[in-house]
Amino acid sequence: MDLGTWSTLGWQAWVTLGVIISIFAVLMAKDVDTDVVLTGGITILLVTGVLSAKDALAGLSNEGIVTIAVLYVVVAGLESTGGNTLITERFLSKPKSVTGALTKMMFPVTFVSAFMNNTPVVAMFLPAVNDWAKQNRIAVSKLMIPLSYAAVLSGVVTMISTATNLLVNGMLINATGKGFGMFDLSWIGIPITIAGVLFVVAFNKWLLPDRRAAIEQFGDTREYTTEMIVEPNGPLVGKTIDDAGLRSLPNTFLAEIEREGDIIPAVAPEARLRANDRLVFAGVVESVVDLQKIRGLKPATDQIFKLDAPRARRVLIEAVVSPRCPLIGQTVRDGGFRSTYNAVIIAIARSGQRLNKKIGDIVLQEGDTLLLEAHPAFADQQRNSHHFYLVSKVPNSSPVEHDRAYLALGILAAMIGLASFTSLGMLKAAMLASGAMILTRCCTPSTARRSVEWKVILSVAAAFALGSAVEKSGLARAMSETLTTAAGGSPMLSLVAIYGGTLLLTELISHSAAVSLIFPIAMNTAAALNASYFPYVAAVTVAGSLGFATPLGYQTHMMVYGPGGYRFTDFLRIGIPMDLLCWAIAMATIPMVFPLTAPPVP
């Protein structure tokens, strides 16, 4: 260790190091919210004077962090229109196991991500993979980390895959007048991508958590009966029950099919759907919400089309029938529920009983739990009514407007094209896309506001501030110089040290800050060895793009952190082996592509 470098560090660097160690210790020891721990660490650095208020809050205005926030609105547009379902149908076929699901998902994602920025790729697949996991009864936690890893792994296959590649290449051109070609790193990136995907697929059982919502483990006593109709010109006509994904929906059961007046009970998986089939399901409220989102199904009652409010502005609401409800003892149809309350019953639960009737024929009883489609104002109007108890909105339950799905996908494609092949940049392209989603009514302003994962934004902003403290206190340079000094003038050991230093800083601060700090060290190392700078700069580029051990290492990791229900240690368990694997392959391939003994570039 170069003790001289560390002896010159000020107290700010040692306080920063103590805060970092404390943050990692708390996150590994306790199941606490990452944003709370990181914000607490930044508070200490702010109060002690290590960070100024400007530096502590700089992350909230950082372009990359704002881009993530804006991308959530684009994702909301895909979810609200069912565009994510089209992505699922195109890229994700029905798997037979978790291993099969990972194979079907990761290889397409790596291919797409090799030729465009990986952040919008994750934004595109995130809602699709989430729904796909539910339809196939796979824990979402088994798929979200692999989704981010797949997008990141192919980040060095081409120069346009990540912003890190472009940043390093820009610094290289400024320093030497020469840079990497479009596919110069491909012979390094392709082996890493293939090996990384195979590693995740092979070891997912041991390294990825299997976390499921409590409702999946213990069930729900409120079992609703609901009816859906197969749309005549929809994509489900002619499909088997199994292929349509209606056999394995979590917490729901296809009780029967009514077809032209005939009842088909105990529906076989190989039975084929026909136009206008009436499907009767029994399941919990979450499963009813999921049924509403399936392209090709619509609620069986035509009453929903007679409500005053447009469907996009409606939500699902649960309400329990009180003894004072005037419709008790009458059927839903005869009682005129819609005209009385401007709401439509789409499902009914009754003390765990399975109601084998059409909803319109069910006689309402005291204590029935109704699932209603109505304007959000219904909940406020009826909350203190004597007619209902426990009136509450079901979160994220606005009906899906499938007729705008292709429009939402078109907006997404335009955003990716603008970000990848023009000088507009990711932030501007994402802001245009989010604005277009709202203007075209692919999502409402309220949905857009709710879609932003503020825990993720706060975590990333705090991590940005932490990186600023590591950099400005001199701690980052001390760490990187210590690693390169330890190489002792050996070309191979220098390559290992430069990669390791970049990787360490990528995991602790950010990929852009890491490569910016290590790049001059790599150039100086090449000059001291009187050798070509290309292998050492390649090591900086690859390590800066491939950080897997912490959710702070890359912004796509933070995007999947919340949806996957992860803990900080989940990334460490699978990420550390991934880091080591990629490091080993990079050390084997970089000298083959860029010989360490090559003379200096003139």
Average pLDDT estimate for 245-261: 79
Residue 583 has pLDDT above 80, yes or no: yes
Residue 221 has pLDDT above 70, yes or no: no
Dist. CA 537–CA 521, nearest whole Å: 9
Q: Are 115 and 158 in contact (CB under 8 A)?
A: yes
Which of 346, 286, 294, 355 is closest to 319 using CA atoms? Answer: 346
Residue 600 DSSP symbol: P
Residue 569, phi then psi, degrees to nearest 5: -70, -20
Dist. CA 148–CA 69, nearest whole Å: 17
Dist. CA 596–CA 531, nearest whole Å: 7
Dist. CA 498–CA 409, nearest whole Å: 41
Q: What is the DSSP string of 223-275?
A: -EEEEEEE-TTSTTTT-BTTTTT-SS-TTEEEEEEEETTEEEES--TTPBP-T
Q: Are 287 and 250 in contact (CB under 8 A)?
A: yes
Looking at the whole model, is its pTM more than 0.85?
Answer: no
- Give ranges for CATH 3.30.70.1450 in the chain: 223-283+296-393
Which of 179, 181, 275, 288 is closest to 225 using CA atoms? Answer: 288
Which residue, chain included where needed, has tokens 């580029």? Answer: 541
Query: Using one digit for the tens of pLDDT, what is the confidence trace for 449-508?
Result: 888 878 777 877 787 787 778 778 877 777 767 766 777 778 899 899 899 988 988 887
Tokens in use for 551? Answer: 């959710």
Dist. CA 18–CA 190, nearest whole Å: 38
Query: Using one digit for the tens of pLDDT, what is the confidence trace for 279-292?
Result: 888 877 777 877 87
Dist. CA 468–CA 62, nearest whole Å: 12
DSSP helix/strand/coil, 149: helix
Which of 73, 163, 193, 165 is closest to 126 using CA atoms? Answer: 73
223-283+296-393 carries CATH number 3.30.70.260: no
What pLDDT does 566 receive? Answer: 86
Residue 215 has pLDDT above 60, yes or no: no
% pLDDT > 70, the chain: 93
